[in-house]
Structure 1
Amino acid sequence: MALAVLRSRALAGLSAPEVTVEVHLTGGLPAFTLVGLPDTEVKEARDRVRAAIQNCGFEFPQRRITVNLAPADLPKESGRFDLPIALGVLIASGQLKAPTLDDYEFAGELALSGELRAIRGALAMCATMQRDATARRAFILPTDSAPEAALIADMTILPAKNLLQVCAHLSGRETIASRAVSPAPTFAHYPDLAEVKGQAPAKRALEVAAAGGHSLLMSGPPGAGKSMLAQRLPGLLPPMTDDEALAAAAVHSLAGLFKLEHWGQRAFRAPHHSASTAALVGGGSVPRPGEISLAHNGTLFLDELPEFQRGVLEALREPLETGHIHIARAARRAEFPARFQLIAAMNPCPCGYLGHPSGKCRCTPDQVARYRGKLSGPLLDRIDLMVDVPAISEAELSSRAAGETSAIVRARVMDARDWQLQRQGKPNAQLTPDEIAKFATPDVAGAKLLAQAMAQLSLSARGYHRILKVARSIADLASAPAINAAHIAEAIHYRRGLSG
């Protein structure tokens, strides 16, 4: 047979559209032509496939070879098509008999020796294959990519070490054992909140943020404990559900960062303030997920917030509201999930010592205003809680009194989250205006206090709704069915902004 047809998958964001790999051999001068909108990595498959076939003991046909990757208008990238192309050449040249070829999909990058190397996005590919409900229920993948793909339920994943093993399986001489993974629930050893000395107001704000999934901005001098507090947030959050863990793992698979031992652990991403917009929100000629997507269902920590480029910070506004990010390019569009919890930290002034007991700050009011002016009003309006983290005294640092552990605080947070899931099916931070009116209406005294705050603080409609959502989380931590004036007062305190 001079024609072979195999199935594989491309990547387009988190989806993986099916790709038909057609290999045709005909007479004429020897040539190897790849068509179907391949990028440079795919075009280089010609040399990898030729060497792999020869080093596995097969004969590379000295004929005109045409490989078509359909559909023709879908861009193809990476070396994932090496394996189906090599198998197509062997089948079309008559060197390999594969009577059950239509039962499988294939993906894998070939080494020159014929060994199979790991690929990006194996989890997303198998998830899409399952959603498509195709008749093909088995996916042949490199051994190193099989563990993540096997996390998809009701999928048959066949891990192969090399091209020869795949050929033996297709011809019926040898069977590849399927890979099954049932990861046990894990809980990472996050840093403990008890290690942070003092800072009771900041710890309370961190607990409220964890209870409702709210964003938090901390301001304080260097060494006050802002980074320590942020690093302890994942240890206060409830364990991930299977759906949350699978969604987070799929994004990490696209970036080639997935590790099975990290299954079920909430991500903590802390990009440097020199990060570009594409690094933070995703991008590139072939769209890849950025830090906000890698923090999906986890925490994104932005230290030295005003030092980030303004355009980078403004790009956070949409995903903070919607929980996803759209990346548009001339030839491609991609959508990635970005339901992250933002924790940010900053100094109160350029030198960092405004309000410090030492009196070391020499910044002028104009310098402080310019420094804080790097954060736009629309961005600050999307942050739920703002809290000062003052310098710690020597007495607090030397105290042997142990604070609350992360386990104690996490128990209260989980109880509050249970209330939220039973009441509205989502964390308070994700409530819509209609749901706020239904589930977060304050009592008479609370409504009166909120009306006064609206007038005195000139709050926007978004600020009004965020106060109610934070107050709802405070009430849930207190196991209170209704929001009262005390809950509203604490939420307003977090909304008043940062002192200085």
Structure 2
Amino acid sequence: MLQKVYGSAVFGVDATTITVEVNIDTGIGYHLVGLPDNAVRESSYRIAAALKNIGYKLPGKKITLNMAPADLRKEGSAYDLTLAIGILAASGQIKSDNLEEFVIMGELSLDGSLQPIKGALPIAIKAREEGFKNFILPKQNAKEAAVVDNITVYGVDNISVVIDFFNGTNTLDPTVIDTREEFYKNLDFPEFDFADVKGQESIKRCMEIAAAGGHNIILIGPPGSGKTMLAKRLPSILPPMTLHEALETTKIHSVAGRIKEHGGLMAQRPFRSPHHTISDVALVGGGAFPQPGEISLSHNGVLFLDELPEFKRSVLEVMRQPLEDREVTISRARFTVTYPSSFMLVASMNPSPGGYFNDPDAPVMTSPAEMQRYLGKISGPLLDRIDIHIEVTPVPFEKLSDDRKGESSVDIRKRVTKARELQTERFKEIPNVHYNAQMNTKQIRSYCELSDASKQLLKTAMERLNLSARAYDRILKVARTIADLEGNEDVSGDHISEAIQYRSLDREGWLG
């Protein structure tokens, strides 16, 4: 008897429906075809043991299973439940009247219980698109998949429950979530608040500008000056995620298996802080079976690289293209996957290997040659892609001992959100551009028109600092954001002057 059941495979951040055809014929043998990997091939042992332990068995006949499309590689153990239900239906051990309405996924344990899978959200989205009415998967992933409307999601913890459901001896309770209510209920502020930061008013101003325009920023300063403390608080002043951004972010984390157990839609912007020993594949994504890297897990959030010169140069250089294109494409011989990577880069670094400026009073002395070698680890093209460079100086004792609270993240966030709303209105007719940092050269010329005096000011700065054409664009973008924070339609000389100050590493004495 021939029976069809349906599962799904995830490539990139999208899913593809897999049809599992099960044929049972006279003879003996178990033949699984359709380009399965080792984990899928090993499913026969898990299925046999699980069925035996719940009182069922594999039929003692020739079983042929084809996973179509047969030229698409099938990976992982999430097809166990799909294959098992197909075998039981083909051998007449369960009723199969309405199997074509179900997508079924889950990894089997030997006692018949189900383990969580990766990519439940994109699978549910694809199932709804293709007209499936129901989705059966492990209970741990049910909340994540139930975010998708117009498809009934059943979370189960054992294959015996699924068998009884199809045989009509029990019913399953669908997992129902009000996506909007769940999302808005979880829009709390993160644990870190700018009110805890003593002093550093100029740096807070920089962070506000960076958040308002989505600009990349690098903080340069000695140990203990507060670089990491400031970076960790940046997500607290970013505008709340929209429902669309939350779905997009949750999809990526779902594919990577990073959604918390029984977790639903992500409501907080991600903050990722990889260690400096990270490999280039772990940062941008890839591997034999491509997975999202840290830059994609930071999508719609913040990627923080602490002690930037300590990262391998090859790791930093692979970020150059994703920083420009806001997506990363991983190519293999048989397929290509693209992961979104629209993130804010926040980097921090010491000004020298010893951690201090070339200061005779510093605890650790560093020669100018050593400083040059250390700073030279970061390439000019990468620095050109960072809009704001700012020096962070140590906080004096008077500020540290002051009991007064600084301005809270809530207040700063209101100004940032207002500036972002102006940008959203400005770019509403332009696809894939939502804030100033995403502008291309043509849009910069259109939205950052300067007076003659402002042009002369910028020309002088370009000549004295020997800035590149990309740095010129960065200054205009930052100036546009400063104008938006003040609610001004035009970019003035004051805005240009402030933006030029935020190019510390372009000044003589830093990198050349």
TM-score under structure 2 length normalisation = 0.94
Cα distance in 2 for residues equivalent to 1:275 and 1:101: 45
* Superposed CA RMSD: 1.5
Partner of 1:462: 470
Specify the alignment match of 2:198 in structure 1. Answer: 197
Give distance in 2, aligned partners of 1:286 and 1:422: 40
Write the distance in 1 (CA, Å) between the matches of 2:473 and 2:102.
Answer: 51
Q: Where do 1:174-193 residues align within 5 Å?
A: 174-182=170-178, 183-185=182-184, 186-193=187-194
Which amino acid is the alignment partner of residue 275 of structure 1?
I
1:263-282, aligned counterparts within 5 Å? 263-282=266-285
Contact 1:443 1:482 in 2 (8 A): no
| Residue identity in the other structure for 2:251 | A
Match for residue 121 of structure 2? 123
Contact 1:190–1:234 under 8 Å retained in 2: no
Distance 1:11 1:312 in 2: 26
> In structure 2, do the counterparts of structure 1 residues 262 and 353 end up closer, same or farther at CA, with 3 Å as the change threshold?
farther
Gap change, CA 1:261 and 1:221, over 3 Å in 2: farther
Query: Structure 2 CA distance, aligned partners of 1:67 and 1:218?
Result: 57
1:470-492 per-position Cα deviation (integer Å, ceiling 9, x unaligned) = 10110011111110000011111
SS in 1 for 2:11: coil
CA contact under 8 A between 2:144 and 2:265: conserved in structure 1? no
Q: 1:203 Cα deviation (Å)?
A: 1.1
Deviation beyond 6 Å, 4+ runs, structure 1:
none
- The correspondence for 2:380, drawn from 371, 377, 396, is 377
Alignment of 1:48-87 (within 5 A): 48-87=46-85
Q: Is the 8 A contact 2:147 2:264 kept in 1?
A: no
Residue 197 of structure 1 deviates from its aligned partner by: 1.3
What SS class does the counterpart of residue 243 from structure 1 fall into?
helix
Could you tell me how far 1:168 is from its partner in structure 2?
2.1
Give the corresponding residue for 1:320.
323
- Post-superposition shift, 1:137? 2.3
Alpha-carbon distance in structure 2 between the residues aligned to 1:401 and 1:7:
62
> Where in structure 2 are the equivalents of 1:216-231 lying within 5 Å?
216-231=217-232
Contact 1:356 1:391 in 2 (8 A): no
For residues 231-242 of structure 1, the aligned pairs below 5 Å read 231-242=232-243
Q: Which residue of 1 aligns with 2:431?
A: none
Superposed, which structure 2 residues align to 1:446-461 within 5 Å?
446-461=454-469
Instruction: Classify 1:283/1:321 alpha carbon distance in 2 versus 1 (closer, same or farther; 3 Å).
Output: same
Query: d(CA) in 2 for partners of 1:262 and 1:491?
Result: 37
Alignment partners' CA distance in 2, 1:72 and 1:262: 33
**Is the alpha carbon distance of 1:82 and 1:231 closer, same or farther for their aligned partners in structure 2, counting shifts above 3 Å?**
same
Post-superposition CA distance 1:101-135 (Å, at most 9, x none): 111111111111111211000011112233xx323
Counterparts of 1:120 and 1:144, CA distance in 2: 11
The verdict on how the C-alpha distance between 1:135 and 1:359 changes in structure 2, with shifts beyond 3 A counting, is closer
- 1:262: how far off? 6.9
Q: Over residues 250-308 of structure 1, what are the superposed CA-to-partner deviations in whole Å (9 max), with x where a residue is unaligned?
A: 11111111133672101110000001111111111110011111111000000010000
Matched ranges for 1:288-367 at <5 A: 288-355=291-358, 358-367=361-370
Structure 1 Cα separation of the partners of residues 50 and 161 of structure 2: 13
Paired with 1:464 and 1:443, the residues of 2 have a C-alpha distance of 16
Greater shift in the superposed pair: 384-393 or 417-426: 417-426
Question: In 2, Cα distance between the equivalents of 1:198 and 1:84?
Answer: 59
Bigger shift: residues 353-362 or 415-424? 353-362
Distance change >3 Å, CA 135–CA 410, structure 1 → 2: closer
Matching residue's letter, 1:71: P
Q: Which secondary structure state, in structure 1, belongs to the residue aligned with residue 249 of structure 2?
A: helix
Measured after TM superposition, the shift of residue 226 of structure 1 is 0.1
* Alpha-carbon distance between aligned partners in 2 of 1:222 and 1:244, rounded to the nearest angstrom: 35
Change (3 A) 1:434 1:464: same
- Aligned residues of 2:183 and 2:265 also touching (Cα < 8 A): no
CA distance in 2 between partners of 1:262 and 1:180 (Å): 13
State the identity as a percent. 45
CA contact (8 A) 1:299 1:342 kept: yes
* Structure 1 residues 244 and 356, CA gap change in structure 2 (3 angstroms): farther
Query: In the alignment, which residue of structure 2 is the partner of 1:152?
Result: 148
CA contact (8 A) 2:223 2:350 kept: yes
State the one-letter code of the partner of 2:209: V
Shift of 1:25: 1.3
Moved more, 447-456 or 472-481: 447-456
Give the 3-state SS of the residue equivalent to 2:400 in structure 1: helix
C-alpha contact 1:441 1:468 (8 A) present in aligned 2? no
Give distance in 2, aligned partners of 1:159 and 1:400: 51
Equivalent position of 1:471 in the other structure: 479
Rounded to whole Å, the distance in 2 between the matches of 1:485 and 1:153 is 51
| Conserved 8 A contact 2:103-2:127 | no
Separation in 1, partners of 2:258, 2:359: 41
Q: Is contact 2:246-2:265 (8 Å) kept?
A: no
SS in 2 for 1:139: strand
In structure 2, stretches of 5+ residues that fail to align are: 429-433
Equivalent-residue separation in structure 2 for 1:184 and 1:72 (angstroms): 39
**Structure 1 residue 172, shift from structure 2 partner:** 2.9
Post-superposition offset of 1:178: 1.6
Tell me, in whole angstroms, the C-alpha distance in 1 between the residues paired with 2:4 and 2:486. 63
Compared CA separation, residues 359 and 262, structure 1 to 2 (3 A) = farther
Amino acid at match of 2:463: A
Matched residue type, 1:168: D
**Which residue of structure 1 aligns with residue 446 of structure 2?**
438
Which ranges of structure 1 fall in alignment gaps of 5 or more residues? Answer: none
- Counterpart CA distance in 2 for 1:461 and 1:178 is 57
